[in-house]
């Protein structure tokens, strides 16, 4: 198994939101409450829109960032729920294509 195969598998094992779920989430007010940058959402939308054979070195790097973030953040304490119905932790995870409520 080469690096792309390995990272693609790990990415798909970690991420649990589809392109359409993440794209719909991106347009919610809640998605803007935990982070200033929209970059994680946009990076993951790109990754979710591509087949493995279309991934390049940048995609592999971005997938590894997502894998690492989800691994760390999913172990963090949930924290207080904001007035949008989610905690900052849960919003952050969803911004990185992982829905902790699934």
pLDDT tens-digit profile of 20-72? Answer: 999 999 999 999 988 778 999 999 999 999 999 999 999 999 999 999 999 99
Give the Cα separation of 83 and 23 in Å (integer).
22
pLDDT, position 27: 94
Domain boundaries, the chain: 3-95
User: What predicted TM-score, i.e. pTM, was given to this entire model?
Assistant: 0.92
Give the pLDDT confidence score for residue 80 in this predicted structure: 85
Residue owning tokens 């994680």: 40
Q: Write down the H helix ranges in 15-99.
A: 19-26, 39-48, 57-73, 88-95
């Amino acid at each position: 198994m080469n690096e792309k195969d390995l990272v693609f598998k790990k990415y798909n094992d970690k991420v649990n939101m589809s392109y359409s779920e993440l794209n719909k989430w991106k347009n919610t007010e809640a998605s803007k409450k935990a982070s200033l940058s929209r970059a994680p959402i946009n990076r993951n939308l790109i990754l979710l829109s591509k087949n493995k054979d279309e991934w390049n070195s940048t995609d592999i790097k971005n997938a590894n960032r997502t894998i690492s973030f989800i691994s760390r953040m999913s172990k963090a304490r949930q924290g207080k729920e904001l007035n949008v119905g989610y905690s900052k932790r849960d919003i952050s995870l969803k911004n990185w294509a992982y829905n902790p409520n699934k």
